[in-house]
């Protein structure tokens, strides 16, 4: 369900335009996501990269409006899919979108699966909500999808509870649930963080295979540069609620232009590192929402920062076609 093309001529499935998320905290409005814009193209994987606390997961939750009512989150901007601005839909309209048109895989499947219901019942609920299939058809599709994501004991698993499955199996169940209704866009929020290295590789291979088979567009939220290099065509780098760099994955790794992106690259463990050799950590930490000054939000941690950086916010501007950077002194 394409909604148009972007400035580089790519077919667009999902468009996020100037998204801002505000919460009320101690009588003060804070914005963990502040003016974020990006697109996800047809059959494209876009990485949303940054440290913990940069606003990646809040951005993902905003797209599907999954904030609890008690949070009183206020969203502004646009999130366009299939010709509609999702931020303007009513509750019934959003329920029709969630799972069927845009699905999400969460970081920790044990907190996403209901421990009181069997696996088959939880997957079947997705089809009961979004299709008119009868019980026999639903049971068949659930077992077929579990087999498709590499779970060989699918007929037995549908009658088991989440606690009886390993972490890798639970994550495969979550992927099966997300893909049951053949969504156009799949949002993956750190889908391999809680898994060991071997299972991580299997899950990434599975997602790549399913993307090729179903043509699903993927928004991959991660802080892992290895996952970005392996899975993504384009990358959006976030810092303190803003997009600070955006480019193709090849250009980002070959010529990172923002000091924050370059610092992330330097922080990777070297293959020839000696035992006990310290990492090149970025000094300081991500500022809390609402505490940043008027200038660049990375200025306090940046070795290139000057008075201009500390006093005025730079715009997100192109350094080469398709390569956008928010910096007064890009590389």
Identify the burial level of 208 via C-beta atoms within 10 angstroms of its C-beta, where 0-12 means exposed, 13-18 middle and 19 or more buried: middle
Q: How far apart are CA 96 and CA 94, in angstroms?
A: 5
Place of tokens 């999808």: 145
Q: How far apart are CA 153 and CA 133, in angstroms?
A: 23
Q: How far apart are CA 244 and CA 93, in angstroms?
A: 32
pLDDT at residue 218 in the model: 95
Q: How far apart are CA 47 and CA 218, in angstroms?
A: 8
pLDDT at residue 73 in the model: 85
Note the pTM of the prediction, 2 decimals: 0.91
Cβ-based neighbours of 107, under 8 Å, separated by 6 or more? 57, 189, 190, 191, 193, 194
Residue 224 belongs to what H/E stretch? none
Write the DSSP symbol of residue 98: B
Tell me the C-alpha to C-alpha distance, in Å, between residue 110 and each of 30, 170, 194, 306. 30, 7, 10, 46
Cβ-based neighbours of 163, under 8 Å, separated by 6 or more? 110, 115
Q: What are the boundaries of each domain within the chain?
A: 4-239, 258-268+281-331
From first to last of the 331 residues of the chain, give the pLDDT tens digit. Answer: 555 666 665 688 999 999 999 988 777 889 999 999 999 999 999 999 999 889 999 999 999 999 876 678 899 999 999 888 999 999 999 999 999 999 999 877 777 889 999 999 999 999 999 999 999 999 999 999 999 888 888 999 999 999 999 888 898 899 899 989 989 999 999 887 767 888 888 888 888 888 888 889 999 999 889 899 999 999 999 999 999 999 999 999 999 999 999 999 988 777 666 777 777 888 889 998 888 888 999 999 998 999 999 999 999 999 999 999 999 999 8
Region label for 131, one of left (φ > 0), alpha (ψ between -120 and 50) or beta (otherwise): beta
Q: How far apart are CA 141 and CA 145, in angstroms?
A: 6
pLDDT at residue 292 in the model: 80
Residue 247 CB coordination number (10 Å): 26
β-strand pairing of 84-85 with 323-326: unpaired
Are 235 and 252 in contact by the 8 Å Cβ rule? The answer is yes
Strand, helix or coil for residue 85: strand
Rg from Cα positions in the chain: 21
Cβ-based neighbours of 154, under 8 Å, separated by 6 or more? 142, 143, 144, 146, 147
pLDDT at residue 264 in the model: 93
Vertex 206, ends 204 and 212: CA angle to 5°?
105
Place of tokens 């993956």: 188
Residue 34 forms beta bridges with which residues? 20
Vertex 97, ends 240 and 133: CA angle to 5°?
145
Annotation: CATH topology of 4-239: Rossmann fold (3.40.50)
Are 33 and 42 in contact by the 8 Å Cβ rule? The answer is no
């Amino acid at each position: 369900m394409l909604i148009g093309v972007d400035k580089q001529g790519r077919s667009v499935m999902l468009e996020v335009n100037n998204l801002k998320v505000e919460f009320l905290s101690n009588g003060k409005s804070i914005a963990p996501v502040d003016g974020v814009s990006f697109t996800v193209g047809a059959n494209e994987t876009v990485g949303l990269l940054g440290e913990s606390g940069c606003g990646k997961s809040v951005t993902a939750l905003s797209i599907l409006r999954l904030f609890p009512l008690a949070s009183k989150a206020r969203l502004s901007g646009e999130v366009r899919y299939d010709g509609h601005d999702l931020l303007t839909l009513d509750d019934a309209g959003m329920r029709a979108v969630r799972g069927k048109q845009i699905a999400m895989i969460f970081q920790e499947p044990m907190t996403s699966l209901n421990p009181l219901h069997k696996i088959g019942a939880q997957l079947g609920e997705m089809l009961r909500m979004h299709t008119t299939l009868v019980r026999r058809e639903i049971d068949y599709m659930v077992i077929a999808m579990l087999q498709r994501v590499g779970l060989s004991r699918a007929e037995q698993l549908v009658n088991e509870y989440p606690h009886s499955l390993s972490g890798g199996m639970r994550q495969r169940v979550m992927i099966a649930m997300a893909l049951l209704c053949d969504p156009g866009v799949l949002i993956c929020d750190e889908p391999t963080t809680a898994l060991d290295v071997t299972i991580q590789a299997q899950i990434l291979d599975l997602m790549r295979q399913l993307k090729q088979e179903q043509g699903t567009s993927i928004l991959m939220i991660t802080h892992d540069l290895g996952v970005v290099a392996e899975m993504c065509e384009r990358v959006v780098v976030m810092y303190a609620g803003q997009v600070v760099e955006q480019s193709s994955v090849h250009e980002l790794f070959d010529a990172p232009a923002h000091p924050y992106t370059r610092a992330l690259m330097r922080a990777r463990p070297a293959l020839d590192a000696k035992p006990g050799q310290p990492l090149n950590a970025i000094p300081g930490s991500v500022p809390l929402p609402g505490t940043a000054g008027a200038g660049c939000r990375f200025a306090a941690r940046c070795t290139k920062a000057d008075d201009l950086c500390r006093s005025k916010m730079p715009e997100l501007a192109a350094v080469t076609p398709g390569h956008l950077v928010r910096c007064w002194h890009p590389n």
